[in-house]
Amino acid sequence: MIFRFTITHKAPNSRARIGILETPHGRVQTPVFTPVGTKATVKAMTPEELLELGAELLLANTFHLSLRPGAEVIYQLGGLHKFMHWDHPLLTDSGGFQIFSLSALNKIDDDGVTFKSPLDGSLHRLTPEKAVEIQNLLGADIIMVLDECIPYPCEIDYARYSTQLTLSWARRSQAAHKNPAQALFGIVQGSVYPELRIESARETTALDFPGYAIGGLSVGEPKPLMYEMLDLSVSHLPEDKPRYLMGVGTPQDFIAAVDHGVDMFDCVVPTRNARNGKLYTSGGTINIKNAAYTADAGPVDPHCSCYTCRHYSRAYLRHLFLSKEILAARLNTVHNLAFFLSLMRQIRQAIATNSWDTFKGQIQCQLPSDNSSHHPPSG
């Protein structure tokens, strides 16, 4: 079997577990944080730098790549791995999240969605079959069924309709999937309604996908409600398949979601915040443009050993940021990704050494408080 998920250890008194995802392009240790490379590039980074930071899985965006340069072009050039010079595991989302985040440009119906290109306003049609066909052309190791990410808040009638729509699209996506070397994941929706979350998890599971995503969370709902829905969704997913919490999130979210049994995450938080000068440190987040750093000779985080912290002062990073220098985006992104990927390594280590309970208690107090966990539009 080309795609295999093996749970190697479980934490006592928790759903947290570590495992190995095997894909045609290599292994991924879970829980995994997946840097977002929307347009076939993790903004400001080379693949070699991502590898050095410990990234094992990258995400690219079906919606954006199908508009430019086009899935056929990438297929002709040997597929997405070769196109972006990343010969390691890759995941593509289905475009479902863009139906949500670019809703002003979209019109949804039972069969699929018609949308205006944000590039030139031209009309395009995305169906479950088309989303899978595009992803077959791109050739990522993990691909996603087309779904509708339900906004929050949402009336129960629409949530019920949309949850069934996503289920019917999951069946059609599965039927259309042609490449056994790519693992097609199902997506659980259901908004914030317990019965819909349970129904979605059960019926998606009945389709027997090699992995399951939990979608439609961190879209504006209160955190307790998010975790309640996460708990419900995971409870009705099979133990032996990877669980992927889409578009989440912050360090706090990782701890809570891993505790709920989640194995995979992706989010633009570290990379986008880096470009905006918001840096994660063991003592909290800092805004590098703060005047307090004008002549600060220290590194961003004295406990960090990333390239940025080894060689550059806060004063220099502030200068680069104020000067709108490209190197600012680079050095800040290196640091934030180092923080996120290192946290995920610590999480795996804590589970492996049966110290998850202690670790999660300690780290929750240390982690930067952060209210920006709202699912940001990908990009």
Contacting positions for its own copies (CB under 8 A):
39-41, 43-46, 68-69, 73, 76-78, 83-85, 294-295, 297, 311-313, 315-316, 318-320, 322-323, 325-327, 329-330
Closest contact distance (angstroms) between CB of 77 and its own copies is 5
Closest contact distance (angstroms) between CB of 285 and its own copies is 22
Whole-number Å distance between alpha carbons of 56 and 65: 21
Task: CB nearer to its own copies: give 65 or 159.
Answer: 65
Whole-number Å distance between alpha carbons of 266 and 34: 5
**162 near 203, Cβ under 8 Å?**
no
Task: CB nearer to its own copies: give 76 or 179.
Answer: 76
Provide the annotated active-site residues.
93, 266
Task: CB nearer to its own copies: give 92 or 191.
Answer: 92
Count CA within 13 A, CB hemisphere, residue 316.
13
Burial 220-236 (b: 16+ CB within 10 A, else e): ebeeeebbebbbbbbeb
Q: 3-state class of 33 per DSSP? A: strand
Report in angstroms the alpha-carbon separations of 57 from 29, 51, 81, 171, 264.
9, 9, 11, 26, 10
Return the residue matching tokens 């996603």.
144
Whole-number Å distance between alpha carbons of 105 and 115: 5
Specify the DSSP element, H or E, that contains 231: helix 223-235
Closest contact distance (angstroms) between CB of 333 and its own copies is 9
Backbone angles phi, psi at 302, to 5 degrees: -60, -20
Specify the DSSP element, H or E, that contains 75: helix 71-76
Task: CB nearer to its own copies: give 51 or 206.
Answer: 51
Closest contact distance (angstroms) between CB of 323 and its own copies is 5
Whole-number Å distance between alpha carbons of 306 and 315: 17
Closest contact distance (angstroms) between CB of 76 and its own copies is 5
Task: CB nearer to its own copies: give 267 or 320.
Answer: 320
Closest contact distance (angstroms) between CB of 228 and its own copies is 39
Task: CB nearer to its own copies: give 86 or 339.
Answer: 86
Give the residue among 335, 299, 293, 301 at the shortest CA–CA distance from 318: 293
Cβ atoms within 10 Å of 8's Cβ, excluding its own:
13
